[in-house]
Amino acid sequence: MTRAEKRQEKRAQEEELKQKKLEAQGFAFSTQKYREKQTIANRKCHCATPEEEKLERQINVEAALKIYRRTLPILLKRLSKIKDPRQSKKIKHSLTVLMIYGILMFVYQQSSLRSANKEMSTAIFFKNMQAMFPDFETMPHADTLRRLLERIKVEEIEESILELFEQLVKKKKFRNYLMNKRYVIAIDGTKKFMRNEQWTEETLVRHTGKDKQEQYYVYVLEAVVIFENGMTLPLMSEFLNNEEYREVSSDKQDCERKAFYRFAERIKKRFPKLKICVTMDGLYACGPVIKTCREYGWDYMLVFKEGSMKDGWREAMGLINLTPENTLKRSCGGRNQVYRWINNIEYTYGNNSRCKEQLHVVVCEETWEETSQTTGKTTTKSTRYVWISGKEITKTNVESRCLKIGRYRWKIENNFLVMKHQGYHYEHCFSYNWNAMVGFHYLMQIGRFINVLLAHSELLEKKVSELGINGLLAYIFRACTADVLDLTRITSIVNDNSYQWRLVA
């Protein structure tokens, strides 16, 4: 027996002993699994000749084009309805051309308008894009797009994303990836842009440092749809805006919770029949938010913190300690989890406690072992999660609700990190004009939406595992700018509507 085989046998024996020890403590092994992190292979290019590399580029661009052709026509059909405020006799680039250009800016992750002018204005790139998108008749300057966004109704750009999402729902593209037969929507806010000088009246203001220096910033409430396979699609945005409070009081400002009620109303109005489950952080654990979710018929999992609802917290923790029968022990992915819960706690709020809501509270206490890479010592670590559930907790649903809905709230945090630090330049405003800035934001969301579908498509699954998502996007852009592709093959895909694309499980 080799040393490697001996080590493997020793690990198997240690794992078996751990399992027996956990079973003796009352832990059952979970059927739920953590999604494993995929590592990108560290190997050289497998193409031996330039001809092989050109062929592979062609094949992968064609695969990406099939996804573009299933999404962009729906988007452009809605975008073409936007009223063009320009003088028709002076128009050089049509509104459709400018919208395609704006979407491609973020599909190919351009960092600024200057970068888009430099990288996307080459003759080779234009030739390839013309073949892929026959409506892309001219190559505009990025400033032309900026001037257009300053004048149009940019909310209609967001409406095109919603129509695309609606079409994909109708075609049942997401049917196999729902959680509890509902669309899980995570809602959270993030800062988009900040300056020490006020450049527009819509910005929020705060005071920082010992000198209480004024900072002016843009804050956005985002909603993303999360699926069981880990896919996270941007859906809607709500900009916090001080315009409403400007004439009322200089001390009052828009805030995240106020924006939530507007946002929730918009989502309900746009998708009145969609089965929704919202997951949000501890800021939203309050009576009015729970009431809003209940009235809209939404399920929910809200992070519950001690400072959120003090009376509700004390009562929930006390009753959980008095009901040991509401306990479930699970071992999942090397982590030991103890679930404890209590249902139907009456929570009162408002003037003279006139308003009442029923709370279902679940606690997950998690422990695991970590081995230091430097010292080799193993230490036991622990953490605790608490949620308010929209449905009663039972032994059959507690694990799936906590792992697949409550814990999946972190997907929106991951989405913010990707948008800010992995190519989309979320914190770059692209224009100091408020209307244009919002328009670029919506175009960015479209680019992100398309790229997520691209990365989770079966057509490009192998290339994603080889290069990673950012590597794939850079690869496709290089392929479109390095050389003119086989335009005959490209045109045949453009004219073919018989192919299908599927999402990776």
Task: Report yes or no on 269 lying in a domain.
Answer: yes
For residues 469 and 363, membership in a common domain is answered with: no
For residues 342 and 204, membership in a common domain is answered with: yes
Here the CATH number for the domain that contains residue 227 is 3.90.350.10
Task: Report yes or no on 364 lying in a domain.
Answer: yes
Q: What is the DSSP string of 417-483?
A: HHHHHSSS-TT--S-SSHHHHHHHHHHHHHHHHHHHHHHTBGGGHHHHHHH-HHHHHHHHHHHHHHS
- CB-based burial of residue 70 (10 Å sphere; 0-12 exposed, 13-18 middle, 19+ buried)? buried
3-state secondary structure of 397: coil
pLDDT band at 399 (very low <50, low <70, confident <90, very high): very high
**Mean pLDDT throughout 55-70?**
95
For residues 142 and 186, membership in a common domain is answered with: no
Higher-confidence position of 504 and 20: 504
CA atoms within 13 A on the CB side of 488: 0
Task: Report yes or no on 331 lying in a domain.
Answer: yes
> What are phi and psi for residue 212, nearest 5 degrees?
55, 50
For residues 384 and 454, membership in a common domain is answered with: no
For residues 242 and 285, membership in a common domain is answered with: yes
**Mean pLDDT throughout 105-110?**
96
Provide the domain count of the chain.
Answer: 2
Which among 333, 335, 401 is positioned nearest to 363, based on CA atoms? 401
Residue partners of 96: CB distance under 8 A and separation at least 6: 76, 79, 80, 135
For residues 414 and 436, membership in a common domain is answered with: no
Over residues 171-187, the pLDDT tens digits come to 999 999 999 899 999 99
pLDDT of residue 290: 96
Task: Report yes or no on 60 lying in a domain.
Answer: yes
Over residues 13-44, the pLDDT tens digits come to 777 777 777 667 777 766 666 666 677 888 88
Per-residue pLDDT at 377 exceeds 90: no
Over residues 477-499, the pLDDT tens digits come to 999 999 999 999 999 999 988 88
Identify the residue whose tokens are 């230490």.
379
Q: What is the pTM of this model?
A: 0.92
Task: Report yes or no on 5 lying in a domain.
Answer: no
For residues 345 and 392, membership in a common domain is answered with: yes
For residues 91 and 129, membership in a common domain is answered with: yes
Percent residues over pLDDT 90 in the chain? 74
3-state secondary structure of 336: strand
Over residues 424-447, the pLDDT tens digits come to 999 999 999 999 999 999 999 999
What is the rounded average pLDDT for all residues in the chain? Answer: 91
Per-residue pLDDT at 268 exceeds 80: yes
For residues 382 and 409, membership in a common domain is answered with: yes
pLDDT of residue 59: 95
pLDDT of residue 35: 63
As a whole number of angstroms, the distance between CA 471 and CA 464 comes to: 8
For residues 436 and 327, membership in a common domain is answered with: no
> What are phi and psi for residue 265, nearest 5 degrees?
-65, -40
pLDDT of residue 375: 84
pLDDT of residue 372: 82
Task: Report yes or no on 33 lying in a domain.
Answer: no
Token readout for 46 is: 């497998």
Higher-confidence position of 467 and 7: 467
For residues 268 and 412, membership in a common domain is answered with: yes
Task: Report yes or no on 7 lying in a domain.
Answer: no
Task: Report yes or no on 411 lying in a domain.
Answer: yes
For residues 390 and 440, membership in a common domain is answered with: no
Write out the residue range of the structural domain in which residue 477 sits. 50-154+432-494
Which among 53, 90, 150, 97 is positioned nearest to 483, based on CA atoms? 53
As a whole number of angstroms, the distance between CA 449 and CA 158 comes to: 12
